[in-house]
Homo-oligomer: A and B are copies of this chain.
Amino acid sequence: MLLGAIEAGGTKFVCAVGHENGTIVERTVIPTDLPEVTMREVIGFFQKHQPDAIGIGTFGPADVNPKSPTFGMITSTPKQGWRDYPLLSELEKVFPVPMGFDTDVNAAALGEAKLGAAKGLDSCLYITVGTGIGAGALVGGKLLQGLSHPEMGHIMVRRHPNDSYEGKCPYHKDCLEGLAAGPAIEERWGMKGDKLQEAEEVWELEGYYLAQAIAHYILVLSPKKIILGGGVMKQEQLYPIIARNVQEILNGYVSLPEIMDRIDEYLVSPGLGDNAGITGSLMLAYEAYTEQNR
């Protein structure tokens, strides 16, 4: 059985074919252009390989509710041409195989739970801190979904008293994403994050905000493991800063040894590295396949 996977992002589409054990046989990267242009290449890749199922982990917002008439659509994105684009059904027109469709971060959470840092757990949270901030979660063995997919990156945090940067979120200004995603770091400090490695105050502030959000996610979801990915998290000095702040915020109320004593095993980097999303999309394909052939 050959599985197909798409990690659909605002700058690039990663497409791959591979197996249920996570092996990738071939992969390709296609820039995100207008849908017609990008999708022609995506379809070409899969026509060559003829996978038996396809899993899609997409940027959003997207309609991930299988009961909705617009299931599989990218919805209110500002990305030109992609608003209300029926990503799933355009692929279904061409490939009559089972398909899985979820957010990129839910796919990454699934990948990490099946084959990465949360292997064997029925619960984990995957957070990406990059151009935006988003998170996906596995809860009770299933990918979290309710009325819609979560939008965890847009929660409000308490501002640091010394931080006067106004925030960059077009909807909320100073929500978490507005204060702590890569573009906010760049605008606040006048330089991209990768050039600021030595500037301690940058990462203290960054960790302060991320820890607040993570403490909230713990209080609301109580995940069994938290995985932090995305470009900004390449700054490894962030992990201990976040860990210390999370412990301070929870302040003994959540007195679990996993968090209070062994937090370095609780807040971790992706076991699959930058492949969490595409591997998770392979797993989405596998789930769609087994679901249909049950």
Q: Are B222 and A148 in contact (CB under 8 A)?
A: yes
Contact of A193 with B by CB under 8 A: no
| With A139-B140, A139-B144, A148-B256 as contacts: A155 and B221 at CB distance below 8 Å | no
Q: Are A123 and B139 in contact (CB under 8 A)?
A: no
Contact of A79 with B by CB under 8 A: no
Contact of A216 with B by CB under 8 A: yes
A175: shortest Cβ distance to chain B, in Å?
Answer: 9
Chain B residues positioned under 8 Å from A249 (CB to CB): 156, 172
Contact of A37 with B by CB under 8 A: no
Chain B residues positioned under 8 Å from A156 (CB to CB): 157-158, 212, 215-216, 249
Interface residues of A in 207-228 (CB under 8 A from B): 212, 215-224
Q: Are A147 and B224 in contact (CB under 8 A)?
A: yes
Q: Which of B140, B150, B158, B259 contacts A220 (CB 8 A)?
A: B150
Bound form: Cα–Cα A212–B149 in Å: 19
Q: Are A145 and B253 in contact (CB under 8 A)?
A: no
Number of copies: 2
Q: How large is the interface on A (under 10, 10 to 19, 20 to 34, 35 or more residues)?
A: 35 or more
A249: shortest Cβ distance to chain B, in Å?
Answer: 7
Bound form: Cα–Cα A97–B150 in Å: 39
Contact of A152 with B by CB under 8 A: yes
Q: Which of B123, B148, B171 contacts A147 (CB 8 A)?
A: B123
Bound form: Cα–Cα A172–B252 in Å: 10
The contact string, 1 if C-beta is below 8 Å from chain B, for chain A 246-277, is 00010111111011000000000000000000
Q: Are A147 and B220 in contact (CB under 8 A)?
A: no
Contact of A168 with B by CB under 8 A: no
What is the chain B residue whose CB lies nearest that of A122?
B146
Q: Are A222 and B150 in contact (CB under 8 A)?
A: yes
Q: Are A139 and B147 in contact (CB under 8 A)?
A: no
Interface residues of A in 129-179 (CB under 8 A from B): 139-140, 142, 144-152, 154-158, 171-172
| With A139-B140, A154-B219, A219-B152 as contacts: A251 and B171 at CB distance below 8 Å | yes
The contact string, 1 if C-beta is below 8 Å from chain B, for chain A 8-38, is 0000000000000000000000000000000
Bound form: Cα–Cα A5–B249 in Å: 36
Q: Are A146 and B158 in contact (CB under 8 A)?
A: no
Contact of A235 with B by CB under 8 A: no
Q: 14 interchain pairs (CB within 8 A)? A: A139-B146, A140-B145, A146-B222, A146-B223, A146-B224, A147-B223, A147-B224, A147-B256, A147-B258, A147-B259, A155-B216, A156-B249, A216-B220, A221-B221
Known: A146-B223, A221-B221. 20 other contacts (CB 8 A): A139-B139, A139-B142, A140-B140, A144-B222, A146-B221, A147-B223, A147-B224, A150-B220, A150-B222, A154-B219, A155-B216, A155-B219, A155-B220, A156-B158, A156-B215, A156-B216, A171-B251, A171-B252, A172-B249, A217-B220
